[in-house]
Amino acid sequence: MAIAVVEHTFVVSQVHMTHLCKKTLVTVVNGQFPGPAIEVMEGDSVAVHIVNKSPYNITIHWHGVKQRLTCWSDGVPMITQCPIPPNQNFTYRFNVAGQEGTLWWHAHVPCLRASLHGALIIRPRDGASSYPFPKPHEEIPIIIGEWWEKDLSKVGRNLRDGSLNDDPSASTINGKLGDLFNCSGVAEDGYVLDVEPGKSYMLRVINAALFYEYYLKIAGHKFTVVAADANYVSPYTTDVIAVSPGETVDAILIADAPLGRYYMVAQPVEPPLLDTQAPVYVTRGVVQYNRNHNYDNSTATPVVPEMPGMHDTMVSFNFHGNLASLHHPLRPTPMVPVRADEHLFIALGLGMVPCQVGQSCSKRQGEENFIVATMNNVSFHLSSTTTPLLEAHYYHTGRMDDVALELPDRPPRAFNFTDQALIPEGPKEALLEPTSKATVERRFRHGTVVEVVFQSTALLQGDSNPMHLHGHDMFLLAQGLGNYDVEKDVARYNLVNPPRKNTVHVPNLGWAAVRFVADNPGVWFMHCHYEFHLSMGMAAVFIVEDGPTTGTSLPPPPMDFATCGNYQSYLQTKKSEVSHISGV
């Protein structure tokens, strides 16, 4: 097949949708929730024209696309580009090379990704018959999401100000709430997958939810996991899939159960009981065998799967621990770097910073503080709203140096990171609370092998952390519970067939060790994919310097690339009221 340019136009606008008896204004692409799927073949070029008819500044991020030498198209507001103001257009152009499987796209402005997202499917260049597993009869995206009645941009501002009181109204499979939700007693529609006995279905599972990891099960059936984060894995059979926000899982479902109807259930995973417990939204759809077989599927009550406990985080730990890269003669996988040039130990947690003027903050122990999320005790914060970091970096305008703080190699002090006594507020935890805000960055020479150990902590909460790196895949070498111990845990590293992931689920009260090769020049966001952690500052930027040749250096921005200056002059001439162009 010849290399194609796959073009799409995404019109971002607000439409009314009605669920749970309530008409809600939702920001969507092309009127759809979830948004349209982009389907390409490995090596294709993609061009997506964004027409912003919404009242918000928007960017779209192509989650998991490596963007080799196209950092300009990565879609992170004020990091790689100026966000697209209302009534403006922007075109993203990039190639999808060296990757196959399921990725997705989403808005990268606070919280709006809850309704602005869709699948990005990359098939092998020579067609589905060259999958490294038997060709499935059909391929189906399964997007787990949330239904929000609240104004999402308001929710984003609340999170930034440390308020954690907003919850979704329901959860969804492919945009449908399912029969556990109702409007005046009438069940909401659920997602229905019609199957034929004996056929196989590749489910492309995406977690697009803001807040929760989910467990997915289908009564009476098993899955064979064949890929994760658009990297093939060695086939792994399981009756439950664990998928954290930002992760994707490709799994084969074989319709080999007795003719009937079976619930497909997506259940959020709750953090430990000591944490604040949010309302739990379980959503379900139905897998039904179709009617051509002297079987009437309209009346049978679906079989209900037995779900793991709400707090059973071990199911996720085991699922992630069972992923291993596929070694396949036709799919050479990159070698795992045997040693690292730089080692980072990143503690992930919450902390407090003093309240700012005009901010509503909680008063504790006589002081006004508000809660932020941190890496090594610094919370990410962007100050300028006029020059994106990538532009400053590329043109050496010096802004990077003015504002940036280097992400420290390790937390400022060692403590028992996973001591559950730190979860409730108290004297022990109060000592560790004070933190600061900065534009946290870390610079790497081209080709540096970076090892990062992410350590989840019990600071004010015992949650897990799906850590996402833009522009690179990470080798997931090992994960563990409790505190990482270099003496014994290095010996457990899988240097033979570790899975490659763009989003690594760092277990709650545990750790994950990754390596990646910093060989894609640009300014790359690295952050937790829980929206509350991200909006509260659990983020940093990794700057990868140019290599020695043009083929290893970031080219200039595309000719039509808009700067904030372009947008501002436009806005001035239009006399539009836009108080600030900022998305982060």
Note the residues at the interface with ligand C2O (CB under 6 A): 61, 63, 106, 108, 246, 468, 470, 525, 527, 529
Cβ at position 364, least distance to ligand C2O in Å: 31
The token duo for 575 is: 């006399």
Buried b (16+ CB within 10 A) or exposed e, 401-436: eebbbebbeebeeebebbbeebbeeeeebeebbebe
Is residue 206 a contact partner of residue 300, using CB atoms and an 8 Å limit?
no
Interatomic CA distance for residues 573 and 582, integer angstroms: 20
Interatomic CA distance for residues 570 and 576, integer angstroms: 9
240/512 with CB nearer ligand C2O: 512
Cβ at position 526, least distance to ligand C2O in Å: 8
Cβ at position 235, least distance to ligand C2O in Å: 26
Would you give the DSSP letter of residue 390?
H
459/540 with CB nearer ligand C2O: 540
Cβ at position 470, least distance to ligand C2O in Å: 6
Q: 3-class DSSP state for residue 19? A: strand
60/423 with CB nearer ligand C2O: 60
Neighbours of 248 (CB within 10 A): 30
Among left, alpha and beta (phi > 0; psi -120 to 50; other), residue 162 is left
Interatomic CA distance for residues 449 and 517, integer angstroms: 5
Give the phi and the psi of residue 427 in degrees, each rounded to 5. Answer: -60, -40
Nearest residue to ligand C2O by CB is: 63
336/526 with CB nearer ligand C2O: 526
63/472 with CB nearer ligand C2O: 63
47 contact partners, CB below 8 Å, separation of at least 6: 5, 6, 7, 8, 91, 92, 93
Q: 3-class DSSP state for residue 292? A: helix
The token duo for 420 is: 């559950």
139/229 with CB nearer ligand C2O: 229
Cβ at position 469, least distance to ligand C2O in Å: 9
245/305 with CB nearer ligand C2O: 245
Cβ at position 474, least distance to ligand C2O in Å: 14
Q: 3-class DSSP state for residue 125? A: coil
72/417 with CB nearer ligand C2O: 72
Cβ at position 77, least distance to ligand C2O in Å: 10
Cβ at position 542, least distance to ligand C2O in Å: 12
Is residue 535 a contact partner of residue 156, using CB atoms and an 8 Å limit?
yes
Cβ at position 525, least distance to ligand C2O in Å: 5
The token duo for 375 is: 């890496």
253/450 with CB nearer ligand C2O: 450
Cβ at position 128, least distance to ligand C2O in Å: 26
315/348 with CB nearer ligand C2O: 348
Is residue 465 a contact partner of residue 506, using CB atoms and an 8 Å limit?
yes
38 burial type by CB count under 10 A (0-12 exposed, 13-18 middle, 19+ buried): buried
108/261 with CB nearer ligand C2O: 108
Cβ at position 527, least distance to ligand C2O in Å: 6
Is residue 428 a contact partner of residue 473, using CB atoms and an 8 Å limit?
no
Interatomic CA distance for residues 241 and 494, integer angstroms: 22
Cβ at position 27, least distance to ligand C2O in Å: 17
Is residue 95 a contact partner of residue 68, using CB atoms and an 8 Å limit?
yes
Count of all residues that appear for the chain in the document: 584
124/246 with CB nearer ligand C2O: 246
Cβ at position 229, least distance to ligand C2O in Å: 11
Which residue in 133, 310, 296 sits closest to 223, CA to CA? 133
Cβ at position 376, least distance to ligand C2O in Å: 19
Interatomic CA distance for residues 155 and 166, integer angstroms: 7
380/525 with CB nearer ligand C2O: 525
63/204 with CB nearer ligand C2O: 63
Q: Are strands 503-506 and 465-469 parallel, antiparallel or unpaired?
A: antiparallel
Is residue 543 a contact partner of residue 450, using CB atoms and an 8 Å limit?
no
The token duo for 302 is: 């679906």
48/458 with CB nearer ligand C2O: 48
Interatomic CA distance for residues 110 and 106, integer angstroms: 11
Q: Are strands 231-238 and 223-228 parallel, antiparallel or unpaired?
A: antiparallel
Is residue 471 a contact partner of residue 524, using CB atoms and an 8 Å limit?
yes
Q: 3-class DSSP state for residue 348? A: strand
Cβ at position 468, least distance to ligand C2O in Å: 5
